[in-house]
Amino acid sequence: MLEVKDVNYWYQSKNDVLYDDINLTFDSGKLYGILGSSGSGKTTFLSLIAGLDVPKKGDILYDGKSMKKIGLTAYRNKYVSIVFQSYNLLPYMSAVDNILAALEITNSQRKDRKTYALEMLARVGITEDMAKKNVQHLSGGQQQRVAIVRAMCCDAQLVVADEPTGNLDEQNSQEIIKLFAELAHEQQKCVIVITHERDIANACDVVLELKNKKFNTIK
């Protein structure tokens, strides 16, 4: 589904590359965990596969099509959903409106958008009353669940999450990782979670560790 071909990236100088030409393949229906210490370049990697930036070298192919050819905006719009550590919800909207806005922007084919959004929110424990409240009135865990539901509801087959449990307690973290697993296994999406927590990584189907500019498969 997603192929990373000879990808490399650098910020200041070409001599100071982040990776050792990465070659990876990600398939649908699996939950991937990417481990790595701070500053190892895992978030940069996420920004590359999420279409927030382009590799300085190599290419990323989605179903065989180059991301550069698809275009970053179109790629983000059609093929990928991103979940951030800081939730990144629209602060002036309710939970359900945040999801509806995402469905609108990504041109979701669903007709019963609101009902579907409320159902999905209910699945992650967000009641209808809570769903209609401004997101700023929800707790961190609830906001992250809303962000995950937003990714679940969109038609994109690739979901990337950057430290999705970074701001959550253990219980909430477990619930969130369970949701990601459901997303991968039930909706047959390709879910890539970037984390530095081994417990979270252990819940994934495949775990890759970024160390010394290289990705090593540890699970």
Partner 1 sequence: MNFLKRAFYSTKAKVGRSLLLTFVFSAILIFILAGLTIQSASLTAAENAKKSMGATVTLSANMENAMKEMQENTRDGERPDPSSFSITPIDLDDVEKITALDNLSSYSLSSTTTVNAKSFDAISSEDSSDDSDTEQQGGPGGMQMPEMASQGDISISGTNATAKASSFTGGTAEIIDGVGITEADADSNKAVIETNLAEANDIAVGDTIKVKGDDKTYKLSVVGIYKSTEATDSRSMQMASLNPYNTIYTSYTFANKVKGSDYKNTADSVVFNVTDPEKMDDFVKAAEATGLDTDTYALTTNDQVYQQMVQPLDNVKSFANKIVILVAVAGTVILALIVMLTIRERKYEIGVLMSLGEKRSKIIAQFFTELVFVLVIALVVAGVSGQFVGNAVGKQLIEQQTTTQTTDTASNAQGGPGMGGGQGGGAPSGMPSGGGQGGPTMGGNMPQAADVQEQISDLDITLSMKELIELGGFGLGISFLAVIIASISIMRMKPKKILIS
Are 23 and 55 in contact, with CB atoms under 8 Å apart? Answer: no
Task: By CB under 8 A, tell whether 106 contacts partner 1.
Answer: yes
In whole angstroms, what is the distance from residue 162 CA to residue 192 CA?
A: 9
Site string for partner 1, 17-56 (x = CB under 8 A): --------------------------xx-xx--x-xx---
Burial 143-180 (b: 16+ CB within 10 A, else e): bbbbbbbbbbbbebbbbbbbbbbbebeeebbebbbebb
In whole angstroms, what is the distance from residue 196 CA to residue 40 CA?
A: 11
Q: Tokens 């589904």: give the residue.
A: 1
Task: By CB under 8 A, tell whether 93 contacts partner 1.
Answer: yes
Contact positions with partner 1 (CB under 8 A) in 126-185? 134, 162
Task: By CB under 8 A, tell whether 100 contacts partner 1.
Answer: yes
Task: By CB under 8 A, tell whether 78 contacts partner 1.
Answer: yes
Site stretch for partner 1 (CB under 8 A), options 10-18, 68-76, 124-132, 199-207: 68-76
Task: By CB under 8 A, tell whether 6 contacts partner 1.
Answer: no
Contact positions with partner 1 (CB under 8 A) in 200-219? none
